[in-house]
Chains A and B, each alone.
Chain A
Amino acid sequence: MSADDFFDRTEFIQYFRDETEELLQSIDSDLLRLEAFVDHDQIDADIIASLFRALHTVKGSAGMLDFKEVAAVAHKLENVFDLLRKDRMPLSEQCINLLFEGRDLLTGLVHVAVGDGGDPGGIDDYITRLDAFALIYESTAAVIDGGERTREDAEAHAEVDAFEAEVARLLAQQSGGSGNVDLDEAQAAMDALLGAASAAAFITPPAHDDVAEAPVETAPAAPIASTSSVVPSTNGTNAVKSADAEAPKRAVGGKNQTIRVDIDRLDSLLNLVGELVINRTRISDIASTLGRSIGSNGSAGDGVASLAKDLAESAALLARTTNEIQESIMKVRMVPIGQVFDRFPRMVRDLAKARGKEIKLEIAGAETDLDKTIVDEVGEPLMHLVRNCIDHGIESSDARELRGKPRAGTIKLNAFHEGNQVIIEVTDDGAGIDLVRVRERGIKQGLISESDKLTDREIIELIFTAGFSTAEAITDVSGRGVGMDVVKKNILRLKGVFDVDSVLGSGTKFTMKLPLTLAIIQALLVRVANELYSIPLDSVIESQRIDATDVRTVHGGEVITLRGQVVPLIRVGEFFQLANARDPDKVMIVIVGLQGRQVGLVVDSFQGEQEIVIKPLSDVIGRIAGISGATILGNGSISLIIDVHSLVAGAYQHGRNARAEFSGV
């Protein structure tokens, strides 16, 4: 294989992965919608059609790339939808569960195919079970479609009834064995059954192989349908053909005016725009300096003066265009949070079932846009929060009834913009956080001591400590004490903050506030020992110039009292081990806040606000406590960005013991 061939294939695979991921997501949501029709006479035909199309596309693309197993499973599922579509199969609970399972298996297989994951296993097992399930209906369908019933047909029909009973027994046996199925035994039972089907010359090839060898359009329908002699018509083949005809129509009809772009390309574009922003600032600086110097000595010739004026105008124009480019790029990177929310209906359904709880999920604000990088990162913390709601928040239906609540609990996911931030809320109407119990568990697990006086907020924060769990027993959902600390870590990494409101008995609301983007921020520039540092403005509460005599010492640490609140001070120069002289009279303080905690950063002077482009420090330097990155200023010099999170956390860690004394003062 030449290098070119290889490249093309990787590109196709990349495309396949993106496309299939979307399709699987749509299959998932369609299945959830379909679930509402379980045991109804009428099924919404549009849902089935949409599922059919999605599966067909997956099958087609997989076949093209020679992903045999994906194509085989997609093909099998397609058959089931064909039966549903023709109303030849009732939509039972068992059916929908098999379909969900098939969708998951398909996802696993797609991951394997594109090299993203290990073998999910169980493919043969699943296909066998699905076949066994679908077989009854397929043959019944064939009989019905076969037109006039001859005596033989009727006989066959009777066989089929017997068959159905036996298969049902088999299935019950299998589901009872919770997945650990003896394949051979099942296969043997099947063979025996098939052999018993009187004159019917059943051939049962290993089903998936058959499909795999002819993965695309030409697939000769379900092997059983086509090889069964009981079946006069080859219905399945027609179904596949008609679906083929539908596929191109969809491709042409769907006017989706979007293109896929590699996120790396957008990142590099964003970097370049960052450079542009820096140079724009620089040119503006030069223009205004030039204008001032001409204005002040007045001796420059008219030519130079008008040139300076032109430069200033061009600079202003450039600034405007640059800003627009920057905004456009940021917009391109914005994706709706619905991409993340979409995963939850399925997860809530499955987990609620597993826990034997009734839970409704309400989603609002799915169209809220935020930066791609943040959307990618926010999924995990959200998942932990929702799991937590299901496991610890929502009570059992009976308990809810006792408390006079509706039997079904509700979890709400909501997202909306607020200024420069995105707010995401996860609300449940469950039991709420029992502060007394959390405190007890905290003491029991050695996280706090009996004598610690904690505010409500601090008690709630215990939940977000690694290793903390209120669950008495470890379940597969939660109780291991991992999860909520991940939530906290991820949110802080995204430079976000979170808040918990909980009312015992009536529910809990987690709120996270995230920045719209991570790349460009407003910052306050400060000077410390002749270096310029940037402090992200979103964490700055105020800046103050106070008398040195107002600084007091508690337990070896410097503090000030600000509106009755004791605020610890960090001398940035000393923290960074820079040589800087202390002003004996005045202290410049930037009050920064995080999660309700405040710290005063002592600096030499304030240098104004500026929009900065964040650049990571090279990993050659490694992680530096207190520094989160750097930026290049308009004049080309570098300013390091102060990591407020680590400074505040450090100050409170250090001051924890001293705090008891603060409150005593």
Chain B
Amino acid sequence: MAMVDDKKQLSGQTMQVVSFALGSEEYGVDIAQVQEINRMVSITHVPRAPHFMEGVINLRGQLIPIIDLRTRFGMPRAEHSKATRIVVTEVGTKRVGMVVDSVSEVLRIPIENIEDAPDMISGVDTEYIRGVGKISDRLIIMLDLGRVISLSEKSALDATMDSPEMVGT
């Protein structure tokens, strides 16, 4: 993964973000939480699982649950294309894959350019959003992964394992 090899800067100045597309929006997650990015593989359906749970995949012998981010955010489902990717993330001890339309690049966003989420962004409930990063004229919606993978959709109690880092902003 060449992009991870970019000089990783841990200073408080900028944040490195893996950006990806979902519909017409650009989203981002902290690179420290991204384990790897894979092409689409066959997903084993898990019956009776929560609706946004696409199933599980075999990642080198490990079972990784897969969330369909479109479904998670209440967007219409899309056919998987050549650009479709599975972003495997690590949140705490949990490893989860997320199906996204395409992965764009790794961005450095100055911390001061990340703002608290406005109440409503294009249909995505702000519950899952840590903030919005601005870089030139692009807006990157920063996800709160802890909440994205949390089973209880409206629960703010157990879902904020990655939020405290944002306190400094």
Contacts of B48 in A (CB 8 A): 576-577, 624-627
Query: Which A residues are CB-close (under 8 A) to B53?
Result: 621
Q: Which residues of B contact A85 (CB under 8 A)?
A: none
**Interface segment out of the listed B38-46, B74-82, B108-116, B131-139:** B38-46
B161 within 8 A of A: no
- Assess the B47–A577 pair: CB atoms within 8 A: yes
Alpha-carbon distance between A531 and B43 when the two chains are bound, in angstroms: 11
The reply to whether A620 and B94 form a contact with Cβ atoms under 8 Å apart is yes
Interface size class on chain B is 20 to 34
CB of A404, distance to nearest CB on chain B (Å): 58
Q: Which residue of A lies closest to B64 (CB)?
A: A618
User: Is A43's beta carbon under 8 Å from chain B?
Assistant: no
- Give the CA-CA distance A576 to B65 in the complex, in Å: 18
Q: Which residues of B contact A639 (CB under 8 A)?
A: 44
Name the A residues within 8 Å of B3 (CB-CB).
Answer: none
Convert A99-124 into 0s and 1s, putting 1 for each residue whose CB lies closer than 8 angstroms to a CB of B.
00000000000000000000000000
Which residue of B42, B45, B65 contacts A620 across the interface (Cβ within 8 Å)? B65
A278 to B149, CA, bound (A): 29
Chain A positions 160-193 with a Cβ under 8 Å from a chain B Cβ: none
A254 close to chain B: CB less than 8 A: no
From known contacts A632-B58, A638-B58, infer whether A618 and B94 are also in contact, taking CB-CB under 8 Å: yes
**A622 x B50 contact (CB < 8 A):** yes
B151-169 contacts to A, CB under 8 A, are 151
Q: Which residue of B lies closest to A530 (CB)?
A: B45
For residues 574 through 626 of chain A, which have their beta carbon under 8 Å from a beta carbon of chain B? Answer: 575-578, 615, 617-622, 624-626
Q: Is the CB of A622 within 8 A of B47?
A: no
Nearest A residue to B62, CB-CB: A615
Chain B interface SS verdict (over half): strand
Chain B residues within 8 Å of A205, by CB: none
B residues near A630, Cβ cutoff 8 Å = 44, 56, 63
What 0/1 readout, one digit per residue, does chain A (524-551) give for beta carbons within 8 Å of chain B? Answer: 0000000100000000000000000000
Contacts of B56 in A (CB 8 A): 617-618, 621, 630, 638
Could you tell me if B96 and A618 are in contact, using CB atoms closer than 8 angstroms? yes
CA distance A577 to B67 in the complex (A): 19
Task: Choose among B48, B67, B151 the residue with the greatest number of A CB atoms under 10 Å from its CB.
Answer: B48
Interchain CB contact under 8 A, A621 and B50: yes
Determine the residue in chain B with the shortest Cβ distance to A619. Answer: B94
Q: Tell me the minimal C-beta distance from A291 to chain B in angstroms.
A: 26
Docked-complex contact B44 and A640, CB < 8 angstroms: yes
Q: What is the CB-to-nearest-CB distance from A281 to chain B, in angstroms, rounded to a whole number?
A: 13
B63 and A615 form a contact (CB under 8 A): yes
Q: Provide the residues of chain A in CB contact with B94, threshold 8 Å.
A: 618-620
Beta-carbon contact of A624 and B61 below 8 Å: no
State the CA gap A632–B49 with chains docked (Å): 19
Q: How far is the CB of A271 from chain B (nearest CB, A)?
A: 8
Beyond contacts A622-B50, A638-B57: 16 other A-B pairs, Cβ-Cβ < 8 A, are: A274-B61, A275-B61, A577-B47, A618-B56, A618-B65, A620-B149, A621-B49, A622-B49, A626-B48, A630-B63, A632-B63, A637-B58, A638-B44, A640-B44, A640-B46, A640-B47
30 contacts between A and B (CB under 8 A): A274-B61, A278-B61, A575-B47, A576-B48, A577-B47, A577-B48, A578-B47, A615-B63, A617-B46, A617-B63, A617-B65, A618-B56, A618-B94, A620-B65, A620-B67, A620-B94, A620-B96, A620-B149, A620-B151, A621-B49, A621-B50, A621-B56, A624-B46, A624-B47, A626-B48, A630-B44, A630-B56, A632-B58, A637-B44, A638-B44
| 3 A-B pairs with least C-beta separation | A576-B47, A638-B44, A275-B61
